[in-house]
Structure 1
Amino acid sequence: MIKPAEFIHPEDAAALRQLESIPGFPTIVKKILELGFEKLWYGLNMASNIRLSPTQLPEIYNHLPPICEKLGIKEPEFYLEMNPVPNAYTSGDTRVFIVVTSGLLEMMDDDELDAVLAHECGHILCRHVVYKMVADYLALGLDSLGILGSLAKPVEYALLYWSRKAELSCDRCASIITSPEVVARVMARLAGGPKSITQKMSLHEWAKQADRYEEIKNDGLWNKTLQLSATIGKSHPFSAVRVSEILKWGQSSQYINLMQNLNLQNSSNRCSSCRRTVDPSWRFCKYCGNKL
């Protein structure tokens, strides 16, 4: 089982601590959840999207269970949205569900789809989903919060700042299931590039653009202010920044040690016959009967 503390991005953890320290933040979160948007969105999702299962488009559905098993999380409901725009998202508190669009499926190969799903499962593993929901609800408008609405704008900006950092943690989760290079490739695909172009790209050269961006952003107070105004309303970091972050993490001792430990665990906790995960206390595999 993988623990969030083993991979969570330090800026994600710091931003979350700052967010939860905002006066009135728990009250606003509770108020938003009481409005019933979760049940509304779940109902709309159930009515408009296609729930995937072992008998409903299994070639898509079958990507999800092994990822959930590796991460040690309960399998969420899985839906397909018929939408040509490539996208994936996770929602829900009492009933968590992942949605991918048809446009995403047409764009991604199997490894890239695994990376996207592992990223979404990362939100579940790191317990991001409730706060991501609150950020989405605030983005819809603050009128329904009444007097709290005027107080919630700073909370909205703080949530969006945290959301950008949370994405970096989930990119790390995706790289554990696939690899940093696959995650970087997904960024290129989601940026709108056709495979005929993106497969020829130097991802490391693209990542270097993030270093140049940091130089520009930190070149004086005015440039910092301009860049802040450009990012304050965004829920995701810029693509080059995400590519740079994940490729650097892929070279870190934290990632290398984590993957070595996971490989050791996987080799010792799998049946030599069917390769399913087994409990160390079993004498025989309950899936195929092989002696362990």
Structure 2
Amino acid sequence: MLNKEKYIHKLEEQSFEEMINSSYFSESIMNYYKNFEEKMRKPDLLGKTVKVSKKQFPDINICVCDICKRIGIESPEVYIYEDFYYGVESKGSDKPWIEISAKTVEDFSIEELKFLIAREICSINLKHTYYKTLIDQTLNTMEESNFVIGIDTFTKTIKASVYKWYRIINYTCDNFGYLMCNDLKTCINAILKTILNSSFLVENINLSEYLNQSIEINKLNDTVYNFTKADEKVPYGPFRIKNLLAFSSSKRAIEVIKEEI
């Protein structure tokens, strides 16, 4: 069984503690979500999407089962929905599910899909999905309480630590996805497609030039630039690929890949 220490980002646990200590995330709000909003979502999933099974999108079903078997967890339910954008996302609380846009299924290879699905299974396994739901529900409640003096400033302060954690867990999930695929080019293509939402753009990228954009991003260093960068939930593309390149050549990644051969 694959231990999380083989792929977790070195700053994830620290950033999680900083985030939890920076605010109070209400379990009572989570209980409301579980008993009402999550239940309200279920009929729509079954009535407006296609549920993955042995007979519906069997390749995806096999992919999900194989990944879950490797880490010893129950396979989540997976639903395919119609959309113009690429997207694979885990949602929910105690029993999360995965939603995949039909455009993603249509335009991505099965190996690219495997990388994206693995990322979400990683999120479910490490409870990223649970805490993201808890945090999002709490922040939404805070933002709706705009009549409380100072709540806007307080919410912005919380978001800084929350979004930092969000960015770091993306690196962890990318690492896990790579270990499931064991193909760097496939993983990079999947990352680029989801960020740019265009196969055409990906086909015309010079990877070296694209990665150099990270240097330009780092040069943007003043209050406004830094606020904008800190306000991102997902790391910028060049940083994600650089992280993946570094991880793929790391001792722990090489050890896992060797064990699989």
Q: Indicate whether the TM-score tops 0.5.
A: yes
Cα displacement (A) at 1:43: 4.4
How far 1:101 moved relative to its partner? 0.3
Identity %: 18
Matching residue of 2:188: 184
Q: Give me the whole-angstrom Cα distance separating, in 1, the residues matched to 2:150 and 2:117.
A: 34
What's the C-alpha RMSD, in Å, of the aligned pairs?
A: 2.6
**Structure 2 gap ranges (5+):** none
Give the TM-score taking structure 2 as reference length. 0.85
Equivalent positions of 1:76-115 (< 5 A) are 76-115=76-115
Q: Which residue is 1:74 aligned to?
A: 74
Deviations 1:36-91 (A, max 9, x none): 23333444433432211112232332321111112322110111111121111101
Give the Cα separation in 2 of the matches to 1:156 and 1:43.
32
Equivalent position SS for 1:89: strand
- Looking at structure 2, the residues matched to 254 and 76 of structure 1 have their Cα atoms a distance apart, in angstroms, of 27
Matches within 5 A, 1:1-292: 1-22=1-22, 24-25=23-24, 28-36=25-33, 37-138=37-138, 140=140, 142-143=142-143, 150=151, 151-178=154-181, 179-192=183-196, 194-195=198-199, 198-199=202-203, 201-214=205-218, 216-217=219-220, 223-260=221-258, 262-263=259-260
Q: Which residue type is aligned with residue 187 of structure 2?
A: V
**Larger RCO: Structure 1 or Structure 2 (Cα < 8 Å, ≥ 6 residues apart)?**
2
Q: Which runs of 5+ in 1 are unaligned?
A: 218-222, 265-292
Answer 1 or 2: which has greater helix percent. Answer: 2
Q: Mark the CA change 1:138 to 1:230 in structure 2 (over 3 Å): closer, same or farther.
A: farther
- Aligned residues between the structures: 254
Rounded Cα–Cα distance in structure 2 between residues aligned with 1:104 and 1:209: 26
TM-score by length of structure 1 reads: 0.77
Which amino acid is the alignment partner of residue 171 of structure 1? D
